[in-house]
């Protein structure tokens, strides 16, 4: 045995020395991240995992978790405030089952806090993050993470709520405290943010996040934006990444958000439409375009992202960031028209 050790030891030392001396440019690039949100507001989440190719996802963000007015995350066997389509409480067992299934597939799972529109069951986030209550709120969140085996937390506090917390000087101290507790456990801290005034997390908080998920979509919607515009162009993605680069965000933190849905106007059943419903209603031509109808003021049209634009955004994310974020995974259509497949194949092309 000693003779074998004596034979192998010099080889191992030589390999180690080679790896240490290897220039950074020659080392393998980190695997691109593919972060997908999984919505609880559509009902129990576990059945949706049967429709998602988990081999193409690196992280799942469970959306959304909020503390109730008493600051509780869990109430007995139920989530205190994880709003579903019929506003019935979601069992903790469903959350745990999703985490366990994802972990078996090698996918990390984070709980996403807040959401664009807070549910009625949510507590008052500005009050919960005040200096008097911050430590309790952080401890409650960390306890939930420890109990379930989550891999981290994603902070998705937006617009008016975000602005109120930031103006009171409580946003960055909350993120700092949360980061310290998560780092002790080797867990992740991420955020979702817009790229325009009133919707951006403060610059002072950026160093504490592992990933900054840029919500590069919704330039136009049912009651906002300029009529005739598209809601998520490639040019918008370039602009939004540049905004966060200028704010000091590192390439390793930047994750470009892409939409698996669109907005319709006029005779196209005005409102929100997910990608798979557009395919079902209008056929495979949807997959290769970004617009149905004609995009102009007062016109009948649908604006969304088809596979070519998703591929172009994946190339952009590969060049300038750490990967892609998807809102949201259940809106895709598995098969030859899948947006997830287009994103994954392009993002990982250079690694094949």
Give me 21's structure tokens: 């001396």
Contact (Cβ atoms closer than 8 angstroms) between residue 121 and residue 79: no
Express each pLDDT in 9-55 by its tens digit: 444 444 444 444 445 455 667 899 999 999 999 999 999 999 999 99
The rounded Cα 205 to chain-centroid distance in angstroms is 17
Mean pLDDT calculated for residue range 223-229: 97
Q: What percent of the chain has pLDDT over 70?
A: 91
Q: Break the chain down into helix, strand, coil percent, rounded to 5.
A: 45, 20, 35
Contact (Cβ atoms closer than 8 angstroms) between residue 155 and residue 141: no
d(Cα 62, Cα 276) in Å, to the nearest integer?
Answer: 20
Q: What is the CA radius of gyration of the chain?
A: 22
d(Cα 172, Cα 95) in Å, to the nearest integer?
Answer: 28
d(Cα 98, Cα 62) in Å, to the nearest integer?
Answer: 9
Task: Check residues 334 and 22 and name the one with the higher pLDDT.
Answer: 334
Spatial CB neighbours of 4, under 8 Å, sequence gap ≥ 6:
none
pLDDT at residue 6 above 60? Answer: no
Contact (Cβ atoms closer than 8 angstroms) between residue 151 and residue 108: yes
pLDDT value for 28 = 67
Give me 111's structure tokens: 């709980």
Spatial CB neighbours of 74, under 8 Å, sequence gap ≥ 6:
80, 92, 144, 147
- Cβ atoms < 10 Å from Cβ of 306: 21
SS3 of residue 149 by DSSP: coil
Q: Are strands 152-157 and 271-274 parallel, antiparallel or unpaired?
A: unpaired
Contact (Cβ atoms closer than 8 angstroms) between residue 152 and residue 182: yes
Domains assigned to the chain? 29-260+305-351 (3.20.20.80)
pLDDT at residue 94 above 60? Answer: yes
Mean pLDDT calculated for residue range 90-112: 97
Q: pTM for this one?
A: 0.92
Q: Which of 12-26, 55-69, 72-86 has the lowest mean pLDDT?
A: 12-26
Do you find a cis peptide bond into 82, omega within 30 degrees of 0?
A: no
Q: Shortest CA distance to 345 belongs to which of 323, 324, 316, 314?
A: 314
The β-bridge partners of 170 are: none
> Confidence band (pLDDT; 50, 70, 90) for 5?
very low
Give me 63's structure tokens: 């959306």
pLDDT at residue 174 above 80? Answer: yes
> Confidence band (pLDDT; 50, 70, 90) for 347?
very high
Instruction: State the average pLDDT for the chain.
Output: 92
The β-bridge partners of 65 are: 113
């Amino acid at each position: 045995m000693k003779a074998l050790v004596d034979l192998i030891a010099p080889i191992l030392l030589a390999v180690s020395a080679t790896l240490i001396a290897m220039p950074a440019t020659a080392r393998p690039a980190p695997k691109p991240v593919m972060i997908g949100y999984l919505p609880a507001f559509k009902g129990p989440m576990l059945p949706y995992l049967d429709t998602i190719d988990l081999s193409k996802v690196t992280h799942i963000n469970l959306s959304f978790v909020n503390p109730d007015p008493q600051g509780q995350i869990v109430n007995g066997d139920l989530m205190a405030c994880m709003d579903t389509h019929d506003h019935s409480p979601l069992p903790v067992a469903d959350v745990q089952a999703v985490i366990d299934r994802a972990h078996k597939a090698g996918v990390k799972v984070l709980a996403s806090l807040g959401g664009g529109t807070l549910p009625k069951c949510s507590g008052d986030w500005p009050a919960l993050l005040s200096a008097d209550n911050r430590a309790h709120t952080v401890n409650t969140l960390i306890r939930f993470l420890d109990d379930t085996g989550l891999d981290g937390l994603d902070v998705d506090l937006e617009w008016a709520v975000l602005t109120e917390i930031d103006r009171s000087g409580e946003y960055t101290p909350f993120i700092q405290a949360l980061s310290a507790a998560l780092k002790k456990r080797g867990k992740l801290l991420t955020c979702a943010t817009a790229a325009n005034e009133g919707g951006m997390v403060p610059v002072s908080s950026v160093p504490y996040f592992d990933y900054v998920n840029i919500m590069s979509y919704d330039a136009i919607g049912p009651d906002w934006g300029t009529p005739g515009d598209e809601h998520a162009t490639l040019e918008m993605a370039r602009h939004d990444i540049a905004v966060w680069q200028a704010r000091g965000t590192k390439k390793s933190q930047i994750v470009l958000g892409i939409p698996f849905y669109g907005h319709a106007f006029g005779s196209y059943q005005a409102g929100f439409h997910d990608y798979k419903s557009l395919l079902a209603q209008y056929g495979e031509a949807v997959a290769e375009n970004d617009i149905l109808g004609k995009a102009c003021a007062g016109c009948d049209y649908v604006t969304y992202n088809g596979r070519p634009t998703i591929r172009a955004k994946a190339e952009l994310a590969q060049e300038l960031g750490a990967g892609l974020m998807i809102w949201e995974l259940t809106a895709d259509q598995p098969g030859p028209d899948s947006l997830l497949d287009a994103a994954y194949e392009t993002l990982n092309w250079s690694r094949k």
